[in-house]
Structure 1
Amino acid sequence: MSKLQNIEPQKVFHWFYELNQIPRCSGNEKKISDFLVNFAKERNLEAFQDEAYNVIIKKPATKGYENTDTIIIQGHMDMVCIKGKGSKHDFTKDPIEMLVEEDILRANNTTLGGDNGIAVAYGLAILDADNFKHPPLELLVTTSEETGMDGAHALTNKHLSGKILLNIDSEEEGVFLVSCAGGANMITTFNLEKEKKSGKGLEIIISGLKGGHSGMEIVKQRANALKLLGRILHLCNEEANIRLSRIHGGTKHNAIPSDSKAVVLTEDFENVKKLIDSITKDLKEEYRVEDSELNIEVQEVSVDEVYTKEISDNLIDYIMIVPDGVQYMSKDIEGLVQTSLNNAIIEEKENSIEITTSVRSASSSSLREILNILSVIAKRTNARAEESGAYPAWQYDKDSKIRDKAVEVYEELFDKKAEVSAIHAGLECGLLKEILPDTDMISFGPNLYDVHTEKEYLSISSVRRVWEFLVKLLESLK
């Protein structure tokens, strides 16, 4: 804690430190949820914890604000857990090791948890303070946002009465979000059959890609490790007739995969090596700007079993032809992605191979189009496709009062024009709007960079400014 104790705002970074002492990968949130409940009990604050481990903590208004509308401060407690090459970090038991570098706070070769621990830290700091004015407050902290918004899906309005909701799950200071994309995952499954066949094989390893958030960074057209692997495998299969023995890539449905690998068996060993060398040069040139550290290694290995020829061919064809990345840009907001998809994970299970693809769109018809395309490709390659984890878009509200108030407060505080925008990513606001239809919502946050990667970091000075803004905004809502 010594590295953070002198950083302002001290209360915010104190609670961020405390949160990062508790492992909280998506799906492993009981300890952090119980921590939040105990925080409330120690301060005699009303708290509720549901079966999904969502937590709601209530704090009464300060004097003079008793008759104002209740404000919901909202974020999620889980984090994407990714570590870099060589890291020995164990996300099931180890605290996040944080490093301060001038205005930067980062972790030691792992994700930082700023997405969305910083929102929870803001909320706890506000509940723990007694030196500023505010309306009645409800801190809502949800679970498993990163893996399908499961907490928000399970939430009801039983213990929520707020008429204004401040979602602090955005990553660019001074940009107030008022709309977001909806989406769904498509799980494509190939039945797996293997046969004994031994010989000298090649392991193809793709690494060094930037990856990143599949909503925020998809517009940057970074390389997708699964798609690059598909191109390599397709070339080798067309020219030299290979058989797959193993394949793996990606870790999270909402992260652009930065690495992948496959083991292949071929009778045309030297030719396959030459083909891989040739396409490696092409891919490095193609992605020299977006992914300059792309690395493709080839290692000789022994193989004793392979996928059947039909499954091997179908799988390679699927990875080759499946679309990826930006599909349509918004016709209403310049520079905003309307529809995209991210081929996120491929993993071998006991009797199958599963490919997880995350699809996002602000248009329900475009979303359906892409899901249908994936279904058709699966059918044509003898696989089955199943949709999961659907979540709605958050529609723009032209009459939002909190939007106008937030812009006004920010510009008064910092003499800098704020921006009102939309985001090509899923925010919980879409689901929360369904259970709180009359609640006025906005999303904002401090500057966060490279989230969902081991390079994630946040700006310390931006955290301070957003804290000043949040305190002033609450004071103004009378």
Structure 2
Amino acid sequence: MERVLKGLEPESVFRNFEALTQIPRESGNEEAVATYLVAFAQKHGLEVIREASNNIIITKPATPGYEQSKTVILQGHTDMVCVKLDTLDFDFNSMPIPIVVDGDWIKTKGTTLGADNGIAVAMTMSILESKTLEHPKLIALFTTSEETGMDGVIALDPEHVKGDVLINLDSEEEGTLLASCAGGVNNIATLKLDYVENGHALAYELVISGLAGGHSGAEIDKNRANAIKLMGRTLSIFKAHFPYALYEIAGGEKMNAIAKRSAMKFTIDHENKYMLEDLVASIEATFKNEYEIADPDIKLELNKIQGPQQVFADATRDAIEKLIRLTPFGMYTMSAGIPGLVESSNNLGVLEQTKDTIKLTNAIRSSVNSKKQELNEVMALVCEAVGAENSLMADYPEWSFKVESPTRELMKTTYSDLYGKTLKVDAIHAGLECGFLKEKVGDIDMISLGPDMQDVHTPFEKLSISSTARTYEFLCEVLKRMK
């Protein structure tokens, strides 16, 4: 099959990136990409370690003259967030990502692209396979399941990774070095379900869709709507207008993506049919007005369906409504020290139902540990108030700013020499693996960088071709200057 990215430069970077788009690598399903990377290392005669978690560590010796230089760890993650348009029939486990080139952008036909963090893997592979690039000893660290809780880096054996400098390649803005990031935790609320016999004649499904969604770290300050939160409001509005019974509800896809779709199934009496139709139209108009700029394509779709035998008890229905509505969403606090930086936030990412429970999964983030704990305490109080259980998973630390960083200074000088511009040093609200890596490999010099990407964790994700070329050129020049 003809390569879509053939002819793009650097050739090796885009060749490797396109190869990765052919391999299934949703978080938790990194077996195939790990096997591919092991074969890649063996092909090029490089030492490789495959951990039980499918972390891959590849070592490349220093080129002549660099034997006494500091060892550099190049780090990225192999997994990707798999989200698609609601109308698209696509299987991430069996189908290649449908990439296209549109001007300076690599996009897809309705799915996430996986440039987060496939482009890091591709650039590192290109450096590993290069026969001409001058560099110190390199350790390529490819971790797994970063997007769902950083399980790969948590499982990393520190004995497999020894270095002096770590360059994380999981940033999304060229010309900006990240030197600090938020910590986070998955906060889970679980509510038991009680059922009663259905006493209403008509059944409907209501779907809220068309939302932009987005990365819950990078886009949490964009005032985008959350489909689960909108559904919670809809439950309240229904209750205020007519009797109804709820029996199914779900929303969102990934805990770290803003929920762009939700759906519920419910029953009502015959006499409220036309009121329901008018009310749904009114709710849609209200939501569209509220999010006219940030989320203009919100849509509510009502469909008549076959009714169930059992529905939730009213107390269960009301507890679900309260749990959704009381759960915080969006920015919680802003940084006082860095203008424009979100300090703390919560993303209600997934609402899922089993036979016996409703589970809400939240991604809480903060660059201040005590604020993260405060949000956890808020969720615990919410759960206590509605009779739900509260639990925590995948707690990861923040990455605090390091005052002295020789690598950061070298990068600033190199960037100025190459492009005549000042390299910005910043912090990010999204979580990076650097906090855990600091615990694993020690308090070494760390920095994070990457090319321009937009709309990650959405079906509109795209990667800049020219920015990727410059970022790769910059990275190679930095390695060359570390002699």
TM-score computed with the length of structure 1 as normaliser:
0.98
Cα separation, 2, equivalents of 1:177 and 1:237: 47
Structure 2 SS opposite 1:158: helix
Provide the C-alpha distance between the structure 2 equivalents of 1:83 and 1:102, rounded to a whole number of angstroms: 22
Per-residue deviation, 1:195: 2.5
Distance 1:38 1:372 in 2: 47
Return the match for 1:457 from 462, 468, 478.
462
Mapped partners of 2:237, 2:87: distance in 1: 31
Aligned to 1:224: 226
Amino acid in structure 2 at the alignment position of 1:376: L
Q: 1:11 Cα shift?
A: 0.3
**DSSP-derived class of the 1:179 partner:** strand
2: CA distance between counterparts of 1:65 and 1:326?
46
Deviation at 1:411, TM superposition (A): 1.7
> Aligned pair 1:167/2:168, yes or no?
yes
The range that moved more, 78-87 or 161-170, is: 78-87
The answer to whether residue 83 in structure 2 is matched with residue 82 in structure 1 is yes
Shift of residue 344 of structure 1? Answer: 0.6
Counterpart secondary structure, 1:372 = helix
Question: In structure 2, what is the Cα distance between the partners aligned to 1:156 and 1:9?
Answer: 33
Which AA in structure 2 matches 1:303? G
Matched, 1:330 2:332: no
Please tell me whether the aligned partners of residues 284 and 298 of structure 2 are also in contact (alpha carbons under 8 angstroms).
no
Q: For the residues of structure 1 that align with 2:7 and 2:86, how far apart are their CA atoms?
A: 31
Q: What's the % identity of the aligned pairs? A: 42
Partner SS for 2:160: coil
- Check if 1:417 corresponds to 2:425: no
TM-score of the pair, normalised by structure 2: 0.97
Alignment partner, residue 74 of structure 2: 73
Equivalent residue of 1:85, what SS? coil
Pairing of 1:428-467 with structure 2 (within 5 A): 428-467=433-472
Mapped to 1, the partners of 2:438 and 2:103 lie a distance apart of 39
Q: Is the 8 A contact 2:232 2:325 kept in 1?
A: yes
**How do 1:171-186 residues align onto structure 2 when only pairs under 5 Å count?**
171-186=172-187
TM-superposed deviation, 1:131 = 1.0
Q: Is the 8 A contact 1:245 1:303 kept in 2?
A: no
- 1:174-201 CA deviation, whole Å, 9 max, x = no partner? 0100000001011111112223315202
Q: Where does residue 369 of structure 1 map in the other structure?
A: 374
Deviation string, structure 1 residues 394-438 (Cα, Å, up to 9, x no partner): 000001111111121112111122110000011000100111223
- Matched to 1:227, the amino acid is K
How far, CA to CA, are the matches of 2:121 and 2:162 in structure 1?
19
Alignment correspondent of 2:266: 264
Matches of 1:315 and 1:102 in 2, distance apart? 46
Q: Which residue of 1 aligns with 2:324?
A: 319
1:210 maps onto 2:212 in alignment = yes
Q: Secondary structure at the match of 1:38?
A: helix
Instruction: Out of 388-397 and 80-89, give the one that drifted further.
Output: 80-89
User: Could you tell me whether the CA contact under 8 Å between 1:201 and 1:269 is conserved in 2?
Assistant: no
Pairwise mapping of residues 76-475 of structure 1 onto structure 2 (< 5 A)?
76-197=77-198, 198-267=200-269, 268-304=272-308, 305-475=310-480
**Matched residues, number:** 478
RMSD: 1.1
Q: 318-327 or 194-203: which moved more?
A: 194-203
Structure 1 unaligned regions, length at least 5:
none
Q: Residue type of the partner of 2:214?
A: G
Distance (whole Å) between structure 2 residues aligned to residue 228 and residue 166 of structure 1: 40
Residues in 2 aligned to 1:242 and 1:384: alpha-carbon distance in whole angstroms: 26
Contact 1:199 1:302 in 2 (8 A): no
CA deviation map 1:91-119 (0-9, x unaligned): 11111121011111011211111000000
Say which SS state the counterpart of residue 353 (structure 1) adopts. strand
